[in-house]
Amino acid sequence: MGVRVESKHLGDVIVLVSDVFRDQRGFFHETFRADQFKELGLPHEFVQDNHSGSVKGVLRGLHFQWEPPMGKLMRVTRGTAFLVAVDIRKGSPTLGRWFAKQLSDEDGRQIWAPAGFARGFCVLSDYAEIQYKCTGTYNSRCESGIRWDDPEIGIDWPLREVFLSEKDRKAQTLAQWLARPESEFFSHTQLSYSQSGQRS
């Protein structure tokens, strides 16, 4: 019972699963308990909750923030979406590699991706809502993005015709990000990161 680790990817990206109880009245789903997350070595102090709604074909990402560093616990609360995390940590053995999983409001799964990963999603159902808990508050001066179709990363998106914001359409490549001095905030060799997504 409770939240369980289903699988781990790229060292620090974790798929969590918990039971959804359904009957003729509807459902009940316990998605977060600080004591259980702490026991699993996962973040248990979140400072911001975000809730996004999008129509089919909308792609948001790949986003990240370096100050304060922002880890995200993501889940789909309506519909179906393809969630992605990309390792952008300098010196990481999995730099530039990606993990993705299709989640829905039926499966009771969540994905934890700490700071140092660029995150995004693409909506597959007619409409979907994604909610995510963050370990850092939003700071527009210290956030950026990577191109969703950067060939150096090569994400196998399930849709090729997508709807993007102007900011996401103009996002940089991974190589351009790694050439920026700010990328040192996610240096795997110079900085260490706790599961909470905070620099230590």
List the catalytic residue out of 9, 63, 188, 193: 63
In angstroms, the CA 142 to CA 85 distance is 19
In angstroms, the CA 19 to CA 80 distance is 18
13-17 β-sheet, strand order: 4-9, 13-17, 109-113, 72-78, 127-134, 48-55
Question: What is each CA distance from 120 to 38, 56, 63, 155, 167, in whole angstroms?
Answer: 25, 15, 6, 11, 13
Question: Which contiguous run of DSSP H or E holds residue 118?
Answer: strand 117-123
List the catalytic residue out of 9, 132, 188, 193: 132
In angstroms, the CA 75 to CA 133 distance is 9
What is the widest separation between alpha-carbon atoms in the chain?
Answer: 56
In angstroms, the CA 138 to CA 136 distance is 6
Tell me if residue 132 is catalytic: yes
In this structure, are residues 2 and 36 in contact, taking their beta carbons and an 8 Å threshold?
yes
Catalytic positions: 63, 132
